A = this chain, B = another copy of it.
Amino acid sequence: MDLRHLRYFVAVAEEENIGRAAARLHISQPPLTRQIQQLEEELGVTLFIRTPRGMELTQAGELFLAEARNIRALVEQATERTQRAGQGKLGRLDVGIFGSAILDAIPKLLLAFRNRYPDVKVVLHTMTKAEQIEALRQRRITVGFNRMLAPLDDIGVRQVSTEGLLVAVQADHPLAHQPVVRFAELAAHPMILFPTGARPSFIDKVIGWATESGFQPRISQEVGDAVTGVALVASGFGVCLVPDSATTLQFPGVVYRALSDTPPNFFVDLSCIYRKDDQSPLLAAFMEAVDAFRKGDRKR
C-alpha cells in the first residue's frame, strides 16, 4: 500500500464516481479503477459497492476513509514540521550559561531569539566554562555563553557584547564619596575577585590591569560570581570590579563608581561558543540572532 492509494481512495470516496475522481487527480479513469481494485485486494476488503450510478462506500470503506484522511493529514503535518525544524524554526536549543550571565546581554538576546523563533524551545543550563565545553562535545548543549573564551580545534567562539567596568564599593567607603575613581586608587583597598574555577579568567585580567597600572592588588576574597562579589562588598569585605551590567544588582549599602585612568583594553567580552562541525540550522539561526544583536548593541 502506498500514499498514492490513499490519495486516490479519498478522491473516489469523495466524488463517489471514478471518472470524476480521475479527472480531479489528473489521471485517466482506467488506472484509477485498477489502483482501487489493488487497494481492495491488498486489504482483502470491499471498500466500495459499485452501482450503475457510481461508487458507494461500504461500512468498512467509511472507516478506512476516516483513517486515510487522518493519515494524509499527519503526513502533511510531518513534512511541514520537519521542514520548519530543518530551517531552525522548530526544535530545542540547549544553552549553557554561567552564574551571573543573566544580568544583561543574555536575557535580551534570548528574548530577541525567542521572538523570532517562537517554536524553538530554549533550555538554559547553568555550568562553568569547562563544563560547557564538555557539554558541547557531548552534544548536551548547542551553544555556551561565557567570558574570556579562546577558540579550540573543535570549538568556535563568537563575541556577543563588550562591557565596560565599574567598581562596587560600600556606600560609606571613602571611595564612595568621589564621583569617579582613578584605577590606581584601588591599590589601597582589599579587592574581591571572581570567578573561582578554571584559569585564565577575569581574575587574571584584573591582576594584569593592576600590574600595568603599577600595583599588586590586595586580594581579600575569591568568589564564584559577580552577584556573590557585590554581596561581599555590602558586607565590607572590600571593593569589587564588576561589568557595567552588574548595576542592575541594587544591593542596599553598595554603590557603583566609574573609573578613570584605566589601562587599555579595560573591558570584558561576553562570547558564545559552539561546535565548529555543528551544521544544525538551529545553531545557524541562533548565530544569526547573535550577530544581529551585536550590531544592535554596538550602535546603542
Contact = CB atoms under 8 A, between A and B. Distances in A.
Interface of A: 1-4, 43-47, 49, 58-60, 63-64, 67-68, 70-71, 74-75, 77-79, 81-83, 85-86, 90-92, 279-282
Given A2-B4, A74-B74, 19 more contacts: A2-B2, A2-B3, A3-B3, A43-B82, A43-B86, A44-B86, A47-B82, A58-B279, A59-B85, A59-B280, A59-B282, A63-B82, A63-B85, A64-B82, A67-B78, A67-B81, A67-B82, A70-B74, A71-B75
A64 to B, nearest CB: 4
A43 B83 contact: yes
A278 to B, nearest CB: 10
Contact of A67 (B44, B67, B74): B74
Contact of A91 (B3, B59, B90): B59
Contacts of A91: 59-60, 63
Contacts of A83: 43-45, 60
**Total copies of this chain within the assembly:** 2
Contact of A279 (B49, B63, B64): B49
Nearest to A90: B63
Contacts of A46: 86, 279
5 nearest A-B pairs in the assembled complex, by CB-CB distance: A45-B86, A67-B78, A60-B85, A60-B86, A64-B82
Contacts of A79: 1, 43
A81 B63 contact: yes
Nearest to A49: B279
A82 B45 CA distance: 7
Contacts of A1: 3, 75, 79
14 contacts: A43-B79, A44-B83, A47-B82, A58-B279, A59-B91, A59-B280, A60-B85, A64-B82, A64-B85, A67-B82, A70-B74, A70-B78, A71-B75, A71-B78
